[in-house]
Amino acid sequence: MKVLVFGAGAVGLGLSSFLMQEGHRVHLVGKEETVVALRKNGLKRQGIFGQACFSPQQLTASSNLAETGRETFDFYLVCTKSFDTENSARQLQTGSTLAHQKSPIVLCQNGWGNAEIFTQFFPEKQVFNARIITGFVRPEPHVVDVTVHAQPVHLGSLFNGDSTCLQALADALSQGGIPSVITGNIGKDLWAKMLYNCPLNALGAVLQVPYGHLGENENSRSIMEGIVAEVFQVMQKLGYASHWQSAGDYLKDFYSQLLPSTYEHESSMLQDIRAGRKTEIEALNGVIVREGRNLKIDVSCNETVRNQILFLQNKPSV
């Protein structure tokens, strides 16, 4: 099987490593620095799933799509940051042969709204989503560290597409070491991830602590519970549902199961802030703020942490 991974950050490297574990061919498209490191050193994975090393001869990498020529792939995994979604879709449409193929595009991104953007460039039946609740960190350009893993990767369509075409991908990932399944409830899964990410990612970055610490203090718990309540209201007003009937039901599982399983994980936003990179705040809490305002819902908790992240993201260096 041949897979093109568009975006060679932590998630892209992580997923690639599991595919390569079973001998599948992967081509990574990433930034020049990453491509140079991969071509020189290969790809290395470490962390809770064990170590795995792949030589430069076991993969291909490029900084643009043109180098893939007219080569075809069985799957296209989009692992770019959510703020790059439109640019990614445009590049995939114009810079490759993908627009003339029927191979599935699987969006492996944070946030809500990525699939809708991609359907402006590709047919709905070609666009799928992955729900990933696994912590990937990239300490070096060619190295990925798997820090936490809460649940299997879920793959499916938001547009009632035929997800059975994803079975080979789910099997490849599972056989490579990361459990993956096809689901008919990917919308609920993505909102479950929003319910998980919105209270943790930004607040963990603002307070500069691992996720587990946020659950140990009544002040941070109060903020998280306010964020969850607002996300639930916006989700329902938009006509979507989750796996829980109420915010209270979700919080029971959040504190008893989800938070403990990712206790030591540091948020991706904290990593981005430390590195001086743009964050994905607008695809997470920012979505709740925008939609909440349109729906006349009080989203002040989400707005507060969003504004704090924007301050940290944009403050001048000293």
For the stretch 5-40, pLDDT in tens is 999 999 999 999 999 999 999 999 999 999 999 999
Give the per-residue pLDDT at 71: 83
How would you class 308 by CB atoms within 10 Å of its CB: exposed for 0-12, middle for 13-18, buried for 19 or more? Answer: middle
Residues of the chain predicted below pLDDT 50: none
Residue 51 structure tokens: 């170590």
Beta carbons of 287 and 302 less than 8 angstroms apart: no
Residues belonging to the chain: 318
Alpha-carbon distance 57 to 79, whole Å? Answer: 22
What residues contact residue 285 under an 8 Å CB cut-off, 6+ apart? 198, 202, 227, 302, 303, 305, 306, 309
What residues contact residue 306 under an 8 Å CB cut-off, 6+ apart? 202, 281, 282, 285, 286, 289
Beta carbons of 41 and 142 less than 8 angstroms apart: yes
Per-residue pLDDT reduced to its tens digit, 234-251:
999 999 999 999 999 999
What residues contact residue 180 under an 8 Å CB cut-off, 6+ apart? 152, 153, 154, 155, 169, 170, 171, 173, 174
Beta carbons of 158 and 187 less than 8 angstroms apart: yes
Domains of the chain: residue spans and CATH: 2-184 (3.40.50.720), 188-314 (1.10.1040.10)
Beta carbons of 155 and 182 less than 8 angstroms apart: yes
